[in-house]
Amino acid sequence: MTTVSEIFQTMAYGPAPESDKQAREWLAKHGGEGGLGGEFGLFVGGSWVKPASGEWFDVINPATTQRIARVPQAGKADVDAAVAAARAAFPGWSGLPGHARARYLYALAREVQRHARLLAVLESMDNGKSIRETRDLDIPLVARHFYHHAGWAQLQESEFAGATPVGVVGQIIPWNFPLLMVAWKVAPALAAGNTVVLKPAEFTPLTALAFAEIVAEAGLPPGVLNVITGDGRTGALLVDQADVDKIAFTGSTEVGRVIRKATAGSGKKLSLELGGKSPFIVFDDADLDSVVEGVVDAIWFNQGQVCCAGSRLLVHEGVAERLVAKLRARMEKLRVGPPLDKAIDMGAIVAPVQLERIRGLVSKGVEEGATMWQPSWACPTEGYFYPPTLFTDVSPAATIAQVEIFGPVLVAMSFRTPKEAVELANNTPYGLAASVWTENINLALDVAPKIKAGVVWINCTNVFDAASGFGGYRESGFGREGGREGMWEYLKLQWDEGRGTGDGSKRSVAKGASRRTRPSSPVPLPPIDRTYKMFIGGKQARPDAPYPRAIVAPDGRRLAEVGEGNRKDVRNAVEAARAAEGWAHTTGHTRGQILYYIAENLATRTDEFAARIDAMTGCGPERARAEVDAAVSRLFTYASWADKYDGQVHPTTIRGVTLAMNEPIGVVGIAAPEDLPLLGFVSLVAPAVAVGNTVVAIPSEIHPLAATELYSVLETSDVPAGVMNIVTGSKDELSKVLADHLDVDAMWYFGNQAAAAEVERASAGNMKRTWAEWHARDWLDPHQGEGREFLREATQVKNIWIPYGE
Ligand code: NAI
C-alpha cells in the first residue's frame, strides 16, 4: 500500500473527474439513444423546430472522439424563418421599458448561475477545455455579462438618450469560448432592445442550445433570441439575409474579411472581433516568477486557442535565458489530460483540423530554423491533444512569429531597449491585446499607449470583465464588446430613421447627390477665376495631372478651376498625413487652440465665404451665411471637445484600475458630403483632428471651392503640416483609392450608395474602419451634425488593466 510519506515524495495527482451524469441526461432528453448522440432541433420563435433543410451533423467530444449529439445544418428556409421570428418579436421587445428588459437580463444571469454545473460540464465535453476553466472562468463571466447588461438596460433611457436599438441582429461566434461568446454577443444586443439570431460554431453548438432552453424557462418572449446551428454556409446565409440590420462576428480574420465584403453597401451595421498575435513583453526588472505564471495564463490557457493569447514572448535579453529556463521547468509540470479531470491544466484541441493546423505551423517553425522545445512527458493518445510548446531563436519575420497559430505554442524573441520592444510588439498586422511586465510603473504607462492594441494588460494577462470593452485595432477588427462602448454597437441614433427597417429603400438618397438648380441670387460675386491646387503637407501643391476641372455656378458661369486629383496625389497626401502622426501626441489643449484659431480666421472672412458658397450652390445669401456661421460654431464645438473627450476608469472585478483611453485611429480618409459644402466638410474634419487623427479629405465634388478657399485659412492658423490634407477631384474615384490604401486606417464616405459599397468592400484590404453613409443628414441640425457620435467614430478605445497591491 502506498504510504502518505511516499505520496509526499512524488506528489502525483490521482484522477479527480467531475461527473458528466447531468450533462448526459440533458443530451438524452433531446432525443439521443443511450444517453449519447442527442438530436436537436433549431431554436426558433421560442420552441424547438425541425430543420427544413432535413440535414444534421455530428458533434464530437474532442477528448474522447465520441459523438455526443447531432445538430441541424440550417439552410436558407431555416435562416429566413429565424430572422422572421426575430423581426416579429422586435416591436414588442424594443418597445418594453428599459426596466422590463433589465429584469429579463437579470433573470438570465440567475438562470445561468442556477445551471452553472450543467453548462460547465457540457462546455468541457463539447469543446475539450478543462472543467477548471469552464467552471471558474467561462460560466461565472457569462453570468457577470448578463448582470452587467441588465444594468445597461435599466439605464438605457437616461444614458443613451436619443438612441434606439438597431433591429434584428445576426451573431456568428467561434468555438473557443462557446458560451462566453454567446454572452458577449447576446447580453448587449438584448439590453439595447434588439432581437437576435445567433449561430454558434459548428464544433461547439451545445451550450448555446442549452442556453436557448434556459432562456425559454426564464420566460423571454418567443423570437427575441433564436439559435440556429450549422457551419460557415449557414453563417453566410445569415450575413446575406436582407432583413438583418447588423452582423456581429467573432472568428478568423479571413472570414471577417469575407463578411466585410458581403455586407458592403447593404447598410448593415457590422462589428468584427478577429484574430491576433499578441505580444507579451517582459522587461528586465519584472518579477520573473509572476511572469512564468502569466505566460501559463497567456498561452496555455484554453490550449492557446484564444484570440488574445500572448503568443509572442518578447523578453529583455538580459533576463531571456533565465526566463526560458524557468518556463521549461514550469512546462515540465503542466498536465494535459481529460478535460473533466479537475486537476489538469490543459484539455483537448477542439477538432482534428485545428490539431493539423498547429502541427503544420510547428513543423514550419522547425523548418525555418527556430529551436522547438516540448516537455518530456507524452499527451494522451486517444483524443486530440497537443503539448505546450516553446520556440526560441525565432526571427521576427518567421512564419510562426507572424501567423496566428491558435494553439499552445509560444514563440520567444528578445529585445534590448523599450523602443525595440515596442517596434517588435507592433510588428504584426493584428492589434488585439498586449501584456507588459515590469515593476516600473513609469515604463509600463509609457509603453502601453505606444502599443497598437485594443487591450493592454500590465503585470497581468487574459483578464476580462463585462464593464470593460474588448476588441481590436488594425486587422484584429473593430467594435468593442463590453462596457458602455460595447453598447453603442447595438444602438443607432433616433433621427436616423432609415436604419433598422431592413429595407434599404427607405433610406433617402443623399440630398447633396442632386445638383441644386436654384438661380443665383443677386449678391455681387467676388471677381475671381482662380485655379486651386491641392493642399498637401501644409502647402498648396500642384496636382499630378495637368488638366484642371472647371467649377461652374448653377447658371452655367465658370467660377474657378480645381485640380483633378489622382492616385499619386492621394499617395502624397497619405504620406504627409502619416508623417504628421506626432499630432496624436500633442495635448488636447493644443489641438483645441488650433481649432479655435481656424474658427476665428474663418469668422473674419464670413462674407467672402458666404458669397462663395452662394455663387457655387445658388442657395441664397441667408442660407450661405447661416452655413458659415454654423461652420464656425462647429469648429468651436470640437475645439471644446479636444481636451474633454476623456476616457473612463472602468469598475472591473480586479483590484486595481482599468483605464479606458480614447485613442485616435491614425490616418483618416474623409469624403465630404455634397450638401452644405463648407459645413459638411468641417463637420467631419474637425472631430477627426480634434482627437489626434490626421486626415486626407476630399471635399464636395460639385462645390469644392469652400474647401479650397480654406487653404489660406489653414495656412494662417498654425495647423501643423500634414495634419489636414485636401485633394479635390472625382469624389468616388478618390474615395476608392483611399479605401484601398493600406496606410489609411479609417475611411469616412458621405455620398451615394454604390460608392459607399465600393468603399466598404475595398476597406477589407487592411480591415480599416469605415463610416459610409448615403442617406441625408441635416448638417445644420446639431443633433445630426455634431457630437459624440462623431468623436466615437474618430477614436478607438484602449483598455489598460493595472492591478495593484503587494
Ligand atoms: P472561422 O472564422 O471559420 O469560424 C468562426 C465562425 O464563423 C463559425 O461560427 C463559422 O461557422 C462561421 N463562418 C465560417 N465561414 C463563414 C462565412 N463565410 N460567413 C459567415 N460565417 C462563417 O474560424 P475557424 O475555421 O473555426 O478557425 C480557423 C482559424 O481562425 C483558427 O485556427 C484561428 O486561427 C482563427 N480563429 C480565431 C478566433 C478568434 O476568436 N479570433 C476564433 C476562432 C478561430
| Per-residue pLDDT tens digits for 659-670 | 999 999 999 999
pLDDT in tens, 140-181: 999 999 999 998 998 888 889 999 999 999 999 999 999 999
Strand 455-458 vs strand 795-803: parallel, antiparallel, or unpaired? parallel
Q: Are 665 and 794 in contact (CB under 8 A)?
A: yes
pLDDT at residue 508, rounded to an integer: 37
Residue from 255, 432, 478 whose mutation best tests the ligand 1 pocket (most atoms within 8 A of CB): 255
Q: Which residue has the higher pLDDT, 216 or 36?
A: 216
Q: How confident is the model at residue 37 (pLDDT cuts 50, 70, 90)?
A: low
Q: How confident is the model at residue 15 (pLDDT cuts 50, 70, 90)?
A: confident
Q: What is the CA radius of gyration of the chain?
A: 28
pLDDT in tens, 414-444: 999 999 999 999 999 999 999 999 999 999 9
Tell me the CA–centroid distance for residue 747 and ligand 1, in Å. Answer: 26
Q: Which residue has the higher pLDDT, 250 or 217?
A: 250
Q: Is the pLDDT of residue 11 over 80?
A: no
Alpha helices in 488-587 (DSSP H): 567-579
Read off the pTM: 0.86
Tell me the CA–centroid distance for residue 179 and ligand 1, in Å. Answer: 15
pLDDT at residue 31, rounded to an integer: 67
Atom of ligand 1 at shortest distance to CA of 255?
A: 2
Of the chain, the percentage scoring pLDDT greater than 90 comes to 83
Segment 457-484 mean pLDDT:
94
pLDDT at residue 32, rounded to an integer: 52
Q: Is the pLDDT of residue 87 over 50?
A: yes
Nearest residue by C-alpha to atom 34 in ligand 1: 406
Q: Is 621 in the pocket of ligand 1 (CB under 6 A)?
A: no
Of the chain, the percentage scoring pLDDT greater than 70 comes to 95
Q: Is 230 in the pocket of ligand 1 (CB under 6 A)?
A: no
pLDDT in tens, 340-384: 999 999 999 999 999 999 999 999 999 999 999 999 999 999 999
The CA distance from 632 to 613, in Å, is 15
Q: How confident is the model at residue 8 (pLDDT cuts 50, 70, 90)?
A: confident
Tell me the CA–centroid distance for residue 142 and ligand 1, in Å. Answer: 21
Cβ atoms within 10 Å, residue 4 = 7
Atom of ligand 1 at shortest distance to CA of 357?
A: 32
Nearest residue by C-alpha to atom 36 in ligand 1: 252
pLDDT in tens, 759-790: 999 999 999 999 999 988 999 999 999 999 99
Q: Is the pLDDT of residue 503 over 70?
A: no
619 is catalytic: no
Looking at every residue in the chain, the average pLDDT score rounds to: 92
Taking the CA of residue 193 as centre, how many other CA atoms within 13 Å lie in the half-sphere pointing to its CB? 25
Instruction: Name the residue with cell 493569447.
Output: 309
Instruction: Name the residue with cell 483537448.
Output: 348
Nearest residue by C-alpha to atom 16 in ligand 1: 232
pLDDT at residue 650, rounded to an integer: 92
pLDDT at residue 498, rounded to an integer: 52
Nearest partner of 777 among 490, 509, 488, judged by Cα:
509
688 grid coordinates: 477627426
Q: Is 406 in the pocket of ligand 1 (CB under 6 A)?
A: yes
Atom of ligand 1 at shortest distance to CA of 202?
A: 11
Q: Is 250 in the pocket of ligand 1 (CB under 6 A)?
A: yes
pLDDT at residue 466, rounded to an integer: 93
Segment 727-739 mean pLDDT:
97
Q: Is the pLDDT of residue 396 over 70?
A: yes
Tell me the CA–centroid distance for residue 458 and ligand 1, in Å. Answer: 29
Q: Is the pLDDT of residue 514 over 50?
A: no
pLDDT at residue 103, rounded to an integer: 87
Q: Is 175 in the pocket of ligand 1 (CB under 6 A)?
A: yes
Tell me the CA–centroid distance for residue 255 and ligand 1, in Å. Answer: 6
> HEC states along 78-126?
HHHHHHHHHHHHHHHHHHCCHHHHHHHHHHHHHHHHHCHHHHHHHHHHH
Segment 191-208 mean pLDDT:
98
307 is catalytic: yes
Q: How confident is the model at residue 526 (pLDDT cuts 50, 70, 90)?
A: very low
Q: Is the pLDDT of residue 509 over 60?
A: no
Atom of ligand 1 at shortest distance to CA of 354?
A: 32
Tell me the CA–centroid distance for residue 699 and ligand 1, in Å. Answer: 39
Instruction: Name the residue with cell 502622426.
Output: 581
Q: Which residue has the higher pLDDT, 518 or 272?
A: 272
Q: Cβ neighbours of residue 585 under 8 Å, at least 6 residues apart?
A: 692
pLDDT at residue 12, rounded to an integer: 77
